[in-house]
Amino acid sequence: MKRRDFIKATGVGVAGATIAAPAIAQSTPETKWRMTCSWPKSLDTLYGGAEIMAKAVAEATDNKFQIQVFAAGEIVPGLQVVDAVQNGTVEMGHTASYYYFGKDPTFAFGTSVAFGPNQRINQGWYTLGGGKEVLNEFYKKYNVISMLAGNTGCQMGGWFRKEINTVADLQGLKFRIGGFPGSVLQKFGAIPQQIAGGDIYPALEKGTIDAAEWVGPYDDEKLGFYKIAPHYYYPGWWEGGSMLFAFVNLDKWNALPRHYQAVLEQAAAFANQWMIAKYDQLNPASLKRLLANGVKLHAFSPEIMEACFKAAKELHAEIAAKNASFKKVYDSMTVFSDNSYQWFQVAELGYDSFMVRHSHG
């Protein structure tokens, strides 16, 4: 075959090159986004998750798709992330969905509700159990789409100036607590306060609040709560396995090339896995240091746990009766969670219980 005939048959040559190049360029356009966070930079697990995600996107696209990360307060306050994404001030944000339950209680589910599933069950529901679909159907009303981008695991119950032994001790307690579960504590006379992470210590120091919860030993030690409130309680029954989200403006998401959408989702999944591992790495040593500094560790009493569980279920039923979106998500999560716990009590709980009894350190 003559060279001229070969070029004609294969489409290779100058003409072929000039056709292929624009197609490649169009699939990898130069894209620069901004991501605002609910976290201060000092919290290198939470803020670090956002940074890890942005770095993964850049590396996967040879720096064609760049995301600049901003800490709480640099563009908008920490509790206004979804608003900024919704109205297009930024293309995306990294936050906890339950901060926005004031817009609609359904926002609570993305991160955690009182006595909700543990980390693995929560993520199993979101990823493969229909959670992502029902949540994004709801989030669409606010012009955002979610992707899982972090998890704290089961959180601690918080820092208190004095011991909390009975339900009566909750009366009048000014307690910083994130999201919807504060409504459960209101039933017992507590006064919930939703305060962004970087503002909690000053509020505790000034006596504006009596107690505060955040995440767990590593982050809590960094924020210094033990210096003011020495009683450290567990478990954080309002956050059994809290998911954190990267929310993306829906219009910006739809305008992305499919390749970039896939990269963004995979980067979020990587950040999620990294954050779980990071907390598992850091929390044990932090708890030991806190105890060595005189922190008094307490379990919430059975009385408090049972009373709060009952109040939470009543509250969820009340909201579900009048909010169709809440009911749809709640029913989906509850069915998945109940089935999963029946399995968890067989192998997981049995094995973990045995290993805890034989652990040392």
Q: What pLDDT score was predicted for residue 360?
A: 76
pLDDT at 54 over 80: yes
Q: 230: helix, coil or strand?
A: coil
Q: Which parts of 140-212 fold into alpha helices (H)? A: 182-186, 200-206
Q: What pLDDT score was predicted for residue 179?
A: 78
Pairwise CA distance, residues 45 & 43, whole Å: 6
Residue 327, classified by CB atoms within 10 Å of its CB into exposed (0-12), middle (13-18) or buried (19+), is middle
pLDDT band at 180 (very low <50, low <70, confident <90, very high): confident
Q: 350: helix, coil or strand?
A: helix
Tally Cβ neighbours within 10 Å of residue 230. 17
Q: pLDDT digit string (tens) for 252-266? A: 999 999 999 999 999
- The reported pTM is 0.90
Locate the domains of the chain by residue range: 158-240+293-324
- Terminal Cα-to-Cα distance of the chain (whole angstroms): 77
Of the candidate CATH numbers 3.30.450.20, 3.40.50.620, 3.40.190.10, 3.40.50.1010, the domain formed by 158-240+293-324 belongs to: 3.40.190.10
Comparison of pLDDT for 18 and 197, the residue scoring more: 197
pLDDT band at 4 (very low <50, low <70, confident <90, very high): very low
Q: What pLDDT score was predicted for residue 62?
A: 96
CA separation, residue 204 to residues 126, 196, 200, 210, 298 (Å): 34, 13, 6, 6, 20
Residue 106, classified by CB atoms within 10 Å of its CB into exposed (0-12), middle (13-18) or buried (19+), is buried
Q: What pLDDT score was predicted for residue 192?
A: 96
pLDDT at 164 over 90: yes
Beta strands in the chain (DSSP E): 31-37, 65-70, 92-95, 144-151, 158-160, 174-176, 191-193, 211-212, 231-234, 243-249, 296-299
pLDDT, average across residues 288-302: 98
Q: pLDDT digit string (tens) for 325-337? A: 999 999 999 999 9
Q: pLDDT digit string (tens) for 208-233? A: 999 999 999 999 999 999 999 999 99
Q: What angle do CA 145, 69, 152 make, to 5 degrees?
A: 65
Q: What pLDDT score was predicted for residue 17?
A: 39
pLDDT, average across residues 62-80: 97
In this structure, are residues 75 and 34 in contact, taking their beta carbons and an 8 Å threshold? yes
pLDDT at 178 over 90: no
pLDDT at 19 over 50: no
pLDDT, average across residues 76-80: 96
Whole-number mean pLDDT of the chain?
Answer: 92
Q: What pLDDT score was predicted for residue 361?
A: 59
CA separation, residue 330 to residues 6, 239, 255, 334 (Å): 63, 15, 31, 6
pLDDT, average across residues 233-246: 97
Q: What pLDDT score was predicted for residue 8?
A: 42
